[in-house]
Amino acid sequence: MTYRAISVNPISGALGAEIYGVDLSQKLDDEVIGEIRHALCANQVIFFRDQHLTPDQHLNFGRHFGELQIHEFVAGMEENEEILEVRKEEYETRNFGGGWHTDVSYLERPALGSVLYAREVPTVGGDTMFSSQYLAYDALSDGMKEMLGKMTAVHSARRPYGLNSAYRAQDRSMKILFSENAHEEVEHPVIRTHVETGRKCLYVNGAFTVRFKDMTEEESAPLLNYLWQHAVRPEFTCRFRWEKNSIAFWDNRCVQHNAVNDYHGQRRVMHRVTIEGERPV
């Protein structure tokens, strides 16, 4: 595609591109939104620098791509519950979003994607890594593709948000709502087909995939552990260094991400808007 309204500059061989020539605080016409959507589908995660958004402008941008989700287990901002303030204070050692994962895959309709806006960043550290699950699928052997294509995975929020979560005892600045609802399970295909691109991708992650259908967790563990490691091989990834007022917009249907927790003693505050997706097929 030839872009007329924006400039798209890839940042790695695997995925990721920086977008220039657009001010997201302004009213955006259909052509601009269409080009941004195309850039997202083509690059899987896109980045914007030096954007100055009010909360309402952040919400309005997200709504161009679909309805917005409200997180069931993490409290949103009081004045804008659709905005999740992702915060780590100087005294905290555990961050939110650390470890490779796909957002809210425990839902019947997991997120299409998230728009993460940097309000306050550490002087050093706090990068976010992204991994292409298209490439993870493409690199599998034909035999593995055939086997996984017939399998279903069970996802649940119980590990981070359940009543027995190891995180319950920790003092956190973010309000986590531990709940019996987190123990519910949902089934998704192990190999997902992206509804817009038609490409196949691997769709299991270490945070929320607990087992394969009709198998125990113990039986599932060897193959799941292999897939989790395979999914984030270095050649499938890119790394984004944050600056204040930067934005990352990732396609949650085909990307895993990992908020690197290497900035202890420093404060980091991000605002996240998450867009409703469709049931994986």
pLDDT tens digits, 164-178: 887 776 778 899 989
Distance in angstroms (rounded) separating the CA atoms of residues 132 and 112: 15
Q: What does the DSSP assignment read for 64-98?
A: TTSPBP--SSB---SS-TTEEEEEE-TT----SS-
Structure tokens at 119: 């309000």
pLDDT tens digits, 2-19: 999 999 999 999 999 999
Tell me which H or E stretch contains 114: strand 113-120
Structure tokens at 228: 């989790």
C-beta separation of 173 from 87 below 8 A: yes
**DSSP-based three-state secondary structure for 171:** coil
Distance in angstroms (rounded) separating the CA atoms of residues 178 and 232: 28
Q: Give the chain's mean pLDDT.
A: 96
Which residue stretches of the chain have pLDDT < 50?
Answer: none
Please tell me the predicted confidence (pLDDT) of residue 169: 67
Please tell me the predicted confidence (pLDDT) of residue 137: 98
Distance in angstroms (rounded) separating the CA atoms of residues 73 and 176: 6
**DSSP-based three-state secondary structure for 38:** helix
C-beta separation of 255 from 44 below 8 A: yes
Show which residues are catalytic.
101, 103, 257, 272
Please tell me the predicted confidence (pLDDT) of residue 170: 74
Structure tokens at 64: 């161009």
Distance in angstroms (rounded) separating the CA atoms of residues 195 and 201: 11
Please tell me the predicted confidence (pLDDT) of residue 182: 95
Query: What domains lie within the chain, and their CATH numbers?
Result: 7-275 (3.60.130.10)
Please tell me the predicted confidence (pLDDT) of residue 172: 82
pLDDT tens digits, 138-174: 999 999 999 999 999 999 999 999 998 877 767 788 9
